[in-house]
């Protein structure tokens, strides 16, 4: 009986981790082929860039709403809804020709962002604590694993079957996962029935939409342009109004009082900086691989092969997830977060000192991945242990939104660095000085995360969570 239960729990963990990897893959799957989109979809480069923005936007706006509904009405139910929207979007983008259809499909794919926090909620309710810690470590690492694999798979899929193949891959995998979820995962118990905070959801959607648009489109519109400044002002007004409303609402969309208290607030701030470091690893590794040798550091690798330089990072995260879970179980999430962030900081310092060849790039990418494996496994475990059982998905959904916003900020800063300090050999790439500054900034993100981990104060009952 026990072995059968253990096999079932392992299957649940593996399935939810695979779902998380599929959803995180959506954000980078078209990044390597984005320069080809204007020709493939008969549109402009500026319009094609919306294929990235719209997925981020629907993920940021949809995740808090979907995760709250999951805590109220059923986590498996909303997991199936999120995966179903991802599959529907993938099918639309694969079958219906034209830019508008692909844009709609990409928007629907973004709702898959809620899969990871909902999955964490399911794990905390359905499997043993030891297995849940491992599952959370795996699911948390899927953000890095999936985003790295998306950069690797895009080129081969496009070469093999054209643009529809890129989306059919997601559609077929998602459909299989939906069937397996229906067959293998039970519904988790829900809390006491409560009304859904509709106005809070609207206010949060307005504020987050304006914020993400200002951050992600500011480079195209100009940071001091009227649209960017107007959206920034709208974001500030919308989020402040939302905050005031949530503090007074008897059943808020997000319990902001808990979110602004220790340890939730410092954990979320640490998530922002740790995620920025992870995305810096992706962006800078790809930059080193693609840049011409005349830049002094570039490897001039073909675009289709550049994603292979991120494989060490993805593989390291997969292989170290069980070890990260063991560290969390034995020594606590706080020490695991401190270890992971310190590793990230050291890794980026090493990359500052040693770059300009394939071996340093591959080794540096793997070392950052090791740090991410420990840090990303620790943060959701700490959050899950710090909130009531009926708010686990919602709390991890907030953390997911923060990580998505961090990725958008990292991409915007990267684009600004290229504009401010381009390489003389090719202005589409960073100069070597800018590359070193970016490595230094990423190392600083690791240091900030480590400091936050060191000063984190947890209740005694949670110190080993």
Confidence bin at 165 (pLDDT 50/70/90)? very high
Cα 71 to Cα 293: distance, rounded to the nearest angstrom: 52
Q: Which residues pair with 422 in a beta bridge?
A: 430
The arithmetic mean of pLDDT across residues 135-153, rounded, is: 78
Residues 295 and 139: beta-carbon distance below 8 Å: no
- Looking up tokens 């954000």 gives 27
Above 70 in pLDDT, residue 2? no
Radius of gyration, CA atoms only, the chain: 21
Taking the C-alpha atoms of residue 287 and residue 289, their distance in angstroms, rounded to an integer, is 5
Least confident of 29-43, 139-153, 167-181: 139-153
Where residue 461 falls among pLDDT bands split at 50, 70, 90? low
Those residues whose C-beta lies under 8 Å from the C-beta of residue 37, and which sit 6 or more positions away, are: 30, 43, 45, 48, 51
Specify the higher pLDDT residue, 190 or 242: 242
pLDDT of residue 161: 87
What pLDDT shows up at residue 154? 81
Nearest to 83 by CA among 185, 193, 152: 185
pLDDT tens readout for residues 22-35: 998 888 888 778 88
pLDDT, tens only, 270-325: 999 999 999 999 889 989 998 999 998 999 888 767 778 888 888 888 888 889 88
Please, which pLDDT band fits residue 191 given cuts at 50, 70 and 90?
Answer: low
In the chain, count H helices and then E strands: 18, 0
Least confident of 12-16, 130-134, 206-210: 130-134
Q: Tell me what pLDDT residue 192 has.
A: 64
Return phi, psi of residue 459, to 5°. -60, 150
Contact, 188 vs 76, CB < 8 A?
yes
| CA dist., res. 383 & res. 386, Å (int) | 5
The answer to whether the beta carbons of residues 118 and 67 sit under 8 Å apart is yes
Q: Give the confidence band of 173 by pLDDT, cuts at 50, 70, 90.
A: very high
pLDDT of residue 31: 79
Nearest to 171 by CA among 100, 112, 99, 103: 112
Q: What would the mean pLDDT of 47-53 be, rounded to a whole number?
A: 88
Per-residue pLDDT tens digits for 74-95: 999 999 999 999 999 999 999 9
Q: What angle do CA 265, 138, 367 make, to 5 degrees?
A: 85
Mean pLDDT computed over every residue of the chain: 89
Q: Where are the alpha helices (DSSP H) in 26-114?
A: 37-41, 45-48, 50-73, 75-95, 99-109
* pLDDT, tens digit (0-9, with 9 covering 90-100), for 366-402: 999 999 999 998 999 899 888 888 788 888 999 989 9
């Amino acid at each position: 009986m026990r072995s059968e239960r253990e096999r079932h729990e392992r299957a649940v963990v593996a399935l939810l981790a695979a779902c998380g990897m599929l959803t995180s893959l959506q954000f980078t799957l078209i990044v390597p082929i984005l320069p080809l989109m204007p020709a493939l979809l008969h549109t402009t480069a500026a319009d094609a860039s919306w294929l990235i923005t719209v997925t981020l936007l629907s993920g940021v706006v949809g995740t808090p709403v979907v995760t709250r509904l999951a805590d109220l009405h059923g986590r498996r139910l909303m997991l199936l809804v999120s995966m179903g929207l991802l599959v529907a979007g993938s099918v639309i983008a694969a079958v219906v020709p034209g830019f508008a259809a692909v844009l709609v499909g990409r928007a629907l794919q973004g709702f898959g962002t809620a899969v990871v926090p909902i999955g964490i909620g399911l794990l905390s309710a359905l499997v043993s604590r030891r297995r849940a810690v491992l599952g959370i470590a795996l699911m948390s690492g899927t953000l890095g694993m999936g985003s790295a694999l998306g950069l690797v798979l895009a080129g081969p899929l496009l070469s093999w079957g054209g643009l529809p193949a890129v989306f059919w891959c997601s559609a077929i995998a998602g459909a299989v996962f939906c069937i397996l979820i229906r067959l293998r995962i039970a519904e988790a118990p829900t809390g006491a029935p409560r009304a859904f905070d509709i106005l809070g959801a609207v206010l949060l959607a307005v504020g987050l939409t304006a914020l993400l648009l200002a951050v992600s489109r500011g480079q195209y519109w100009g940071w001091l342009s009227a649209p960017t400044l107007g959206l920034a002002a709208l974001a500030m007004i919308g989020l402040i109004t939302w905050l005031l409303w949530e503090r007074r609402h008897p059943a808020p969309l997000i319990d902001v009082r808990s979110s602004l208290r220790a340890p939730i607030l410092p954990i979320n701030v640490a998530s922002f900086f740790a995620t920025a470091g992870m995305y810096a690893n992706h962006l800078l590794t790809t930059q080193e691989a693609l840049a011409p040798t005349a830049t002094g550091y570039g490897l001039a690798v073909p675009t289709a092969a550049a994603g292979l330089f991120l494989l060490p990072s993805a593989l390291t995260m997969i292989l170290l997830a069980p070890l990260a879970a063991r560290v969390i179980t034995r020594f606590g999430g706080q020490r695991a977060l401190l270890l992971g962030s310190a590793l990230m900081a050291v890794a980026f310092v090493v990359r500052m000192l040693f770059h300009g060849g394939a071996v340093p790039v591959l080794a540096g990418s793997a070392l950052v991945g090791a740090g991410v494996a420990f840090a990303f496994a620790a943060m959701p475990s700490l959050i899950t242990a710090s909130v009531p059982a009926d708010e686990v998905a919602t709390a991890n959904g907030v953390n997911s939104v923060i990580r998505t916003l961090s990725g958008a900020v990292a991409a915007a800063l990267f684009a600004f660095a290229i504009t401010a300090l381009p390489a003389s050999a090719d202005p589409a790439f960073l100069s070597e000085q800018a590359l070193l500054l970016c490595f230094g900034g990423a190392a600083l993100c690791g240091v900030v995360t480590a400091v936050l981990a060191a000063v984190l104060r947890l209740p005694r009952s949670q110190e080993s969570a």
